[in-house]
Amino acid sequence: MSSYPHPIIAREGWPFLAATAAAAIAVHALAGFGWASPLWLVTLFMVQFFRDPARVVPQEADAVLSPADGRIVAVERTQDPYLDRDALRISVFMNVFNVHSNRIPVDCEILDVWYFPGKFLNAALSKASLENERSALWLRTAGGADVTCVQVAGLIARRILCYAEKGQTFRRGERFGFIRFGSRVDVYLPLTAVPRVSVGDKVYATETVLAVLS
């Protein structure tokens, strides 16, 4: 759900952080820092991976916000396979050093939710959008625009978490899911949308405007 608390570390990371920290403390106590140092490094990695900072929501009307931190790997006209329409697809690739909490790109109602099992190809590849494991949301804005937001698993990511359910309403910038350890998020927009980003741009969840609906 979008309302659960995120006190610095996303709730999805607490079990991983607790396990690695406990192991590091135990080895440190029994064998010293030298033997425990690799485990402390893993603990630090868990802290940076599962960090979940607060974000400021832009107030620009009809803005489509980035659902994820990362790098733009596609801005192209293509077929939206979920709503069977021509669409503008903007894809964000997340590496293991990005924040992996996913956020809703527009004020909307969730009209449907789909899950598809699949492969675990490199998420930077275009074919990953249709071949990898993924979870898709059909979003409809108050103005009647349809937006499809798709979480795509990657080569390392093996766990997609989506908390949104059909019939729920969300405000843009609210958290709806998480993908563990590197992945991709695709956003399919009406062809009338005006993109604000280009391939190669770095983007930040909620704070970066991907496009403007028109």
126 an active-site residue? no
Output the CA torsion 21→25→31→33 (10° steps): 70
Structure tokens at 110: 């969730």
168 conformational bin, left if phi > 0, alpha if psi -120 to 50, beta if neither: beta
Q: How far is CA 81 from CA 130, 138, 146, 181, in A?
A: 8, 11, 13, 25
Structure tokens at 135: 């979870």
Give me the catalytic one of 3, 66, 183, 198. 183
Q: In what order do the strands lie in the sheet with 134-140?
A: 169-170, 108-116, 134-140, 146-153, 183-189, 85-94, 70-80, 202-203
Known catalytic residues are 183
